[in-house]
Structure 1
Amino acid sequence: MILGIDVGGTHTDSVLMQNGKILRKSKVMTDKSDLLKSVTQATHAVAQPEDIKQLRRIVLSTTMTTNAVAQHQLDQVGLIVMSGPGVSHRDLPLSDKTTFVRGYMNHRGLEAEPIDEDEIIELQKEFARKGIKHFGVIGKFSTRSPAHEQIIQALLIDDANHVTVGHRLSGELSFPRRISTAYLNEAVWSLHSTMADQLQTYLKQLGVDVPLYILKADGGTIDVEQSRHYPVQTILSGPAATIMGVLPFVPTNRDSVSIDVGGTTTDIALFADGAPLLEPKGVQIEEHKTLIRGLLTHSIAIGGDSHVRVIDGQLAIGPERKGSAMAFDGPVPTPTDAMIVLGLANIGDKAKATAAIESVARDLGKSTEQTAQAIMDLACETIAAKVRSMIAEVNGKPVYTIHEMLEGKVLAPTDAIVVGGPAPYMAKQVGELLQMKAIVPGDSDVINASGAAMARTTVELTLMADTEERQMSIAEEGTQADIPRNFTINDLIDVGTERLKEIARVAGAPEEDIEIEVADSQSFNVIRDGSTTGKNFRVRLQIKPGLTKHVTAHATAN
């Protein structure tokens, strides 16, 4: 059995699954002040003591780190950056929060200027006076050689709560994105570490010894202890859970769109020939462009509980959510109230829903029925318009899926998979507006929890080799090794494959889920005095994202 839990801003959903089937499901209110309480309640709502003894894994997705970034509830971070020449500090992100220091590596990973250790020691004293205990250390070419980052980390670590070094986050070279990623990783580290402590307590209370995973932005899982080092990877975990939950219902031979209508927001994702689209450079959250590998999703501030009102004679929905629908004793009218008035949803108190819509109708000068339909029309058209703009945006650039770049691909979705609480009431109209077949999967109200439960563990690794220097490095691990002059790119792939298998096993991946693919490979000649003196190789390997082999697809849409 597998237990999947999605900790949302309003509800914590849980599912108990076996062989790809949901045995039980539940929704409990999220206690934002006590994550442990919410997760424990969600577990006992679906699992009896005899079920808990049969668990093979527990997977949790959460909006905690995402909300912390969105609400600017972040720890203060001492950012230390080695930019070297050729980069204007003003052009780098977070420059107002950054201290730039001497020392840098060149593009081949060779030291061009040494670190001034006295400068770092004085800087450490200044940070101590300010009470700063979290640090991010980033060098422009640290993926080629992490030595400078490691030196500074060693100087800071005794007085720090935690230090994030840039080379550990990604093997990609993008320096500005590396700065933002290191900053966010450190800014949410304490929050995430506290959550990890609570989850370990939760496991002890359950009395079981099973793997506990957190869902990442790329739709893969990471062991809870491993996640302490990389909490930034759990940002946008919620939308990723939706995509993994929807995946069994996505036609494999057609393009599709998924629309997750929540209480506050609607999350939209796209699929090309059945594969989710990926952010090729890394996800963006708020103003931060990162190197976080993540699935491509867009959110709009409209949902079933969005505040409905009239502004300057015009109907407006959202962006605020002030509480539940008035049919459930909430404070303001919502689209859910309109659905109840129209007879689309047989939930809540219809008299209270009618009173809610009547208050809007008076301001519009329309009947209650007309107003309810106008609210539905505006909500559905807003969602459809966002889907259209997202498709147009994607078709204006290369299409990347979680497995490959599709050269010349023009996305033309024919199916709309609509999930979330309001899905059954909105799917038909949204599908008609988009001229797509609307699909509402069973148990769509807990799709995030089932998506988390079914996701497999994903890990990636970036390796580089310089046959002239006879050096090979693994970027994310900060390790280097000697290689012979006749070392080839296939040799590099072989080394990376074996190391990735080891990492995946430590991260908790079962053997049947360790499917390794080459996500990127590059080879360049080193030319000196008109002659080739060596080669530079770069490869990126990954565990193929998807659903764990522990489950079988519980639906097929063809």
Structure 2
Amino acid sequence: MNYRLGIDVGGTNTDGVLLDRDMKVIHSLKTPTTEDVETGIYNTISSLVKEANVKVDNIEFTMLGTTQCTNAIVERKKLNRVAIIRIGAPAGTSIKPLAGVPEDLKEMLDGHTYMVEGGHEFNGKEINTLNEEKIRSIAKEVNGKVDSIAITSIFSPVDQSHETRAAEILREELGDDVSISLSSEVGSIGLLERENATILNASIINVAKTTAEGFEKALEQNGIHAKVFFCQNDGTLMSKAYTLKYPILTVACGPTNSLRGASFLSDNKDAIIVDVGGTTSDVGVLVKGFPRQSSIAVDLGGVRTNFRMPDINSIGLGGGTVIRVAEDNTFKIGPDSVGHRILKDALVFGGSTLTATDVVVGLGKVQLGNPENVAHLDKNLLNKIFKQMVEMIEEAIDKVKTSADDMPVVFVGGGSVLFPNEIKGASFVYQPENGGVANAIGSAISQISGEIEKIYSINKENREEILKQARELAISETIKAGADSKKVEIVDMESVPLAYLPGDATRVKIKAAGDLAI
């Protein structure tokens, strides 16, 4: 019997799950996340293997989803020393790099910022020849002072030759010890947002490396020698090498894993997923089994970026949400929460803070802690609070819908017990077994993906042929990444005519995904 092990590291808990070859849950658990992350992962794996009583030699695949890179950006901790190079002078010098970035982050990153001649017009024509000598002099200047470099060239998604040449020169001068991030590989059209995403990517390389090595070490200490994968925020997997090159793609993989896990547990590929944690409820939409992607620029730690992110609506309502009641019995729900202190602070656990969990226990909807601790509370008041909690979720669900039609709604996460089986706007409400560890399950069932984004000259005569070639290319990329050739399908496709480019230019973006090849 072969198994796959999924780990999801959250801010409060590290969740783990073991699945068999038929994707059935063998065992799942939660342990507290530790400061160094590695210890928490080790504890989860150790307990999981011991309690499930499985042979470690039979674990074939291991997957890790983590919020460590997100936390590093938000908390401004453990970031790389970054050199920022923008290729586009003299045309692109009016707005400097890091414009609009919060001052505290700017101070940490803005040590070595350079503007270099080069870049392209929107039609692929050179603005200026790349100043290779300037790149070489920058390399000499930053040598030993930075450990990561972010390169952004104007319109590099149309022509990335200046970025790649700059990277080649920097490699010649600095060797392989310095990480290099290219904007054409990280973001899409939109210079400042793409540049910001590239700078953030360059700044979290060390965090990604520490997390990846910690995961491998924890596996090794438990005697597990399996293939290692990392979760990215579109619901698919990437290798360690890919993760260390593009750590920004792990940002938001937590909510994504929950959505994918919910899809799997409820057997729904098109549904609204509500992941209820201790502090927030994250509401997202599944389309063909994958999270709907955000179509707008995404704010990450106060920085405006444009790389792919799931479209998530988060509200301040979870199991630990604090309820404040005034003397006249008016009340306010959240948005603050007792978080991981719920087992000490909530009334049902002997604490003194009224939480959302106390409300549902007081109404007899859930058996948790000591119900006698909330028996004195006014039932009419509790009903009013509960009604407002449900309305908050209904409104959050309504905001992510694109039509007035009812849709299936799946509740997962540790706080999913807070909500009833009937919700306005829901055609059916699912509360699946093992929903409390949907994020770890989403990590374990993740597929391999491949994506292509190219500009083609498309007209009526050649359209079908070119799109067919593009689909085959995306499928080929997915198989190369480690997917089973018989189980690959196209999961997303878009073609956008570029009116400003000559010759019927169309940007084609296709994504394929498939199960891991066993």
TM range (shorter): 0.7 to 0.9
CA deviations 1:286-329 (Å, max 9, x no partner) are 44343332332111122101233347975233333332142346
Q: Deviations over 1:117-157 (max 9, x none)?
A: 4544555566569x443221101222233232234334445
What letter is aligned with 1:199?
Answer: F
1: distance between equivalents of 2:81 and 2:258? 31
Matches of 2:266 and 2:455 in 1, distance apart? Answer: 36
Q: Which amino acid aligns with 1:180?
A: N
Q: Which residue of 2 aligns with 1:144?
A: 158
Which residue of 2 is the match for residue 316 of structure 1?
332
Shift in Å at residue 80 of structure 1?
1.9
Query: Taking structure 1 as reference, are residues 228 and 411 closer, same or farther at Cα in structure 2, changes over 3 Å only?
Result: farther
Contact 1:341 1:369 (C-alpha < 8 Å) held by counterparts: yes
Does structure 2 retain, via aligned residues, the 8 Å contact 1:5–1:61?
A: yes
Closer, same or farther: CA 248–435 of 1 in aligned 2, 3 Å = closer
Q: Structure 1 CA distance, aligned partners of 2:24 and 2:306?
A: 35
Q: Which residue does 1:22 correspond to in 2?
A: 25
Among 422, 439, 444, the residue aligned to 2:430: 439
- 1:193-342 alignment runs, 5 A limit: 193-248=209-264, 256-271=271-286, 276-281=291-296, 283-310=298-325, 314-322=330-338, 323-324=341-342, 325-326=345-346, 327-328=348-349, 332-342=353-363
**Which residue type is aligned with residue 70 of structure 2?**
T
Please name the residue that 2:149 is paired with. Answer: 135
1:514 partnered with 2:488 = yes
**Matched residues in 2 for 1:145 and 1:25: separation?**
47
Report the Cα distance in structure 2 between the residues aligned to 1:498 and 1:243, rounded to whole angstroms: 28
Residues 1:101 and 1:25: Cα distance change in structure 2 (over 3 Å):
same
TM-score for the superposition, normalised by structure 1: 0.77
Shift of 1:227: 1.0
Which one of the candidate residues 357, 366, 369 is aligned to 1:348? 369
Map residues 36-435 of structure 1 onto 2, 5 A cutoff. 36-48=38-50, 50-73=54-77, 74-83=79-88, 89-90=94-95, 94=99, 97=110, 99-120=114-135, 123=138, 131-157=145-171, 158=174, 161-170=178-187, 172-248=188-264, 256-271=271-286, 276-281=291-296, 283-310=298-325, 314-322=330-338, 323-324=341-342, 325-326=345-346, 327-328=348-349, 332-352=353-373, 367-391=377-401, 395=402, 410=403, 412-428=405-421, 431-434=422-425
RMSD between aligned residues: 3.6
User: Is the 8 Å Cα contact of residues 518 and 539 (structure 1) preserved in structure 2?
Assistant: no
**Contact conserved, 1:196 with 1:225, CA < 8 A, in 2?**
no
8 Å contact from structure 2 (residues 322, 334) kept in 1: yes
Displacement of 1:168 in angstroms is 1.9
Shift of 1:526: 11
Equivalent-residue separation in structure 2 for 1:445 and 1:420 (angstroms): 4
Of 265-274 and 94-103, deviating more is: 94-103
Q: Deviations over 1:65-90 (max 9, x none)?
A: 22223333344533222345766744
Q: Which amino acid aligns with 1:201?
A: K
**How far has the Cα of 1:215 moved from its partner?**
1.4
Question: 1:473 is matched with which residue?
Answer: none
Following the alignment from structure 1 to structure 2, what is the Cα–Cα distance between the partners of residues 341 and 527? 64
1:159-189 CA deviation, whole Å, 9 max, x = no partner? 863221112225x333233112212211221
Conserved 8 A contact 1:306-1:319: yes
In structure 1, the gaps of 5 or more residues are 359-366, 396-409, 468-486, 529-533, 552-558
* Structure 1 position 496, deviation (Å): 5.1
Asked if the contact 2:456–2:508 (Cα under 8 Å) also holds between the matched residues in 1, the reply is no
Give the Cα separation in 2 of the matches to 1:299 and 1:520.
27
Query: Aligned AA for 1:185?
Result: N
**Partners of 1:154 and 1:273 in 2: how far apart?**
40
| Mean CA deviation greater in 8-17 or 512-521 | 512-521
- Alpha-carbon distance in 2 for matches of 1:522, 1:34: 45
Q: How many residues align?
A: 491
Quote the offset at 1:9 in angstroms: 1.3
- Pick closer, same or farther for the CA change 1:215–1:526 going to 2, 3 Å: closer
Instruction: Tell me by how many angstroms 1:106 deviates.
Output: 2.5
**Which amino acid in structure 2 is aligned with residue 335 of structure 1?**
A
Identity of aligned residues (%): 22
Q: For 1:147, give the aligned amino acid.
A: S
Q: Which runs of 5+ in 2 are unaligned?
A: 102-109
Give the CA deviation at 1:29: 1.3
Tell me by how many angstroms 1:59 deviates: 1.6
Q: Residue 78 and residue 423 in structure 1: after superposition, are their counterparts in 2 closer, same or farther (change >3 A)?
A: same
> Cα 1:426–1:126, aligned 2, differ >3 Å: closer, same or farther?
same
Question: Could you give the per-residue CA deviations for residues 7-27 of structure 1, whole angstroms, max 9, x where no partner exists?
Answer: 111111111112121111111
Contact 2:5–2:62 (Cα < 8 Å) also in 1: yes
| Aligned CA distance change for structure 1 residues 316 and 126 (closer, same or farther; 3 Å) | farther
**Matched residue SS, 2:72:** helix
Q: Structure 2 CA distance, aligned partners of 1:273 and 1:466? A: 29
Q: Alpha carbons of 1:291 and 1:246: their partners in 2 closer, same or farther (altered >3 Å)?
A: same
2:124 is paired with a residue whose SS is coil
- Give distance in 1, aligned partners of 2:6 and 2:48: 10
Contact 1:523 1:535 in 2 (8 A): yes
The alpha-carbon distance between structure 1 residues 77 and 307, as it changes in their structure 2 partners (threshold 3 A), is farther
Return the alpha-carbon distance in structure 2 between the equivalents of residues 273 and 188 of structure 1: 31
The more displaced of 178-187 and 433-442 is 433-442
The one of 446, 462, 484 aligned to 2:453: 462
One-letter amino acid matched to 1:298: N
The runs of at least 4 consecutive aligned structure 1 residues that moved more than 6 Å come to: 487-491, 523-528
Shift of 1:261: 0.7
